Structure formats: C-alpha cells, structure tokens
Structure 1
Amino acid sequence: MSRKTPRPNPIQWIGYVFGRRLPDSMIDWVRNDLTGKHATARHILRGMVPFTPLFVVFLLFPGELWLRGAMVLLAMLLALFYTAAFMPMNRAHRLAEHGLPADLENPERMRRRALERARYAAQHPH
C-alpha cells in the first residue's frame, strides 16, 4: 500500500467498523486491511470496537468492582470468541461488499501455499 492510498477518516472508519461501505477510492486500503500483514489483529480490534459501549455499561452497574470487572471480562471473552469464530465469513462479506473477490487472500500466504503444493507434488507424484 503506497502513501498516496487514501485512508478513511475517523468517522468513515467507525462506519466501516459497523459495516458501511467505503468509497471506491479506498479499495486498496480495504484490500490491505482485510488481506495484508496483521489483518487478523486488525479484524479482532475492529470486531471489539462495537462492544465497547457494552463494556462501559457493565462497569457502571452497581456492585463490587471485582464483580463489574468479571462481567466485563466475560463479555470481552465472548466477544473475542465470536469475533474470531466468524472472521472468515465477515472478511468474505466485507471483501464482496467492496467489489473484491470474497476469496481474496494475502499475496504472501498465496505464494507460500503454492510453494507448499509444488513441494508436495514433487515429493508425492501420482
């Protein structure tokens, strides 16, 4: 991704987090966000943002601090679990929504997979 690739402003990014489509001028940014280096970490972070108000509300509940902290921790663990579990489907949906192939992968990962297949084919001919 070059420095000239437009990035979403904070309002656009929040919309993107909640599922809005970014303008066509940001397709390269979206491609890198969903398939580039550290895409998994970005997905987890992006997936946790919508839950932040819920975590804050749990902290405002009456009761002992440890109990409120436990509520937040449980909610965070559940949010992490579902964010990770639905990552492939969410990624494919976001890619398709922006006009990119739903099965688009990281170029480095594709290169490694092709290399691995070639090695396997060489070791195990038909």
Structure 2
Amino acid sequence: MKRPNPIQWLGYSYGRVLPEDLREWVRNDLTGQWAVPRHIVRQLVPLIPLFALALLLPGELWLKLAVILLGMLLALFYIVAYMPMNRAHRLMKHGFPEDLENPTRAARRAAERAAYEAQYPH
C-alpha cells in the first residue's frame, strides 16, 4: 500500500485531501486497527506551533510547561469528543461513505448478531 510522503501527510493532518492513488491508505488510516491513536496524533500535530509559542511566554519553565500541559489536555478532550464527526467528514472528503467502518469490527458485529438471533429467535 502506497503511503503519503511527509509533506502530504502534514497537509492531510491540516485537512487537505490526498491524491486518488492514496485512497486505500486513507481508508486504512480512518478505519484501520489503530485509527483512534492515529487520529489523536494527526489532530495534535497542527497544534505543535501553538504549544511552541507557549515557550515564549514570560515566566519560569515549569509554568510554561504547565500551560502546554493544560493546553494539551484541553485539546485531547475536544479531539476525542469530536472524533466521530471529524472521521465522517474526512471520509466524505476522500469519497467514502461517512459510516464506513473497520471491516474486522463489522464482521465481528455481524457474527455476534447472527449468534444472538440464533439463540433468541423471534
């Protein structure tokens, strides 16, 4: 599977659409096994310049690091809270259905549903 180069990935983390030949990589990135940690990292990357600016604030280093930590915690809260909406938007931007999910998870859910219906028929 072809991967984006660092410049393409950086643009992707800022919301740009990747070329058509990277479509399978995007699908795996948004629905693959490690989609949640990748999403968190992808959303934190654009905030690095803001966190770096906090180092220019007046005060002692521990205070600057505390400001950065509080900013990261707040960012993580919103990143996780809006993850489903951001994922759906990114999927649609790349031409996928917004409810596309991990194939392994979908197969497991279908098997669980079939087992449940076999055990508890209507």
TM bucket, shorter chain:
over 0.9
Residue 105 (1) aligns with residue 81 (2): no
- What value does the CA root-mean-square deviation take over the aligned residues? 0.9
Which residue of structure 2 aligns with residue 91 of structure 1?
87
Within-5 A mapping of 1:37-48: 37-48=33-44
Count of matched residue positions in the alignment of Structure 1 and Structure 2: 122
Which residue of structure 2 aligns with residue 117 of structure 1?
113
Which residue of structure 2 aligns with residue 75 of structure 1?
71
TM-score (structure 1 length as normaliser)? 0.92
Which residue of structure 1 aligns with residue 14 of structure 2?
18
Within-5 A mapping of 1:43-58: 43-58=39-54
Percent identical residues: 65
Q: Following the alignment from structure 2 to structure 1, what is the Cα–Cα distance between the partners of residues 60 and 70?
A: 16
Q: Following the alignment from structure 2 to structure 1, what is the Cα–Cα distance between the partners of residues 60 and 10?
A: 32
Give the letter aligned to residue 53 of structure 1.
P
Give the letter aligned to residue 110 of structure 1.
A
Residue 28 (1) aligns with residue 3 (2): no
Q: Offset at 1:9? A: 0.9
Q: Which runs of 5+ in 2 are unaligned?
A: none
Q: Offset at 1:7? A: 1.3
Q: Offset at 1:6? A: 2.0
Q: Following the alignment from structure 1 to structure 2, what is the Cα–Cα distance between the partners of residues 9 and 119?
A: 44
* Deviations 1:26-49, CA, capped at 9 Å, x for gaps: 100000110111010100000100
Q: Offset at 1:69? A: 1.1
Q: Which runs of 5+ in 1 are unaligned?
A: none
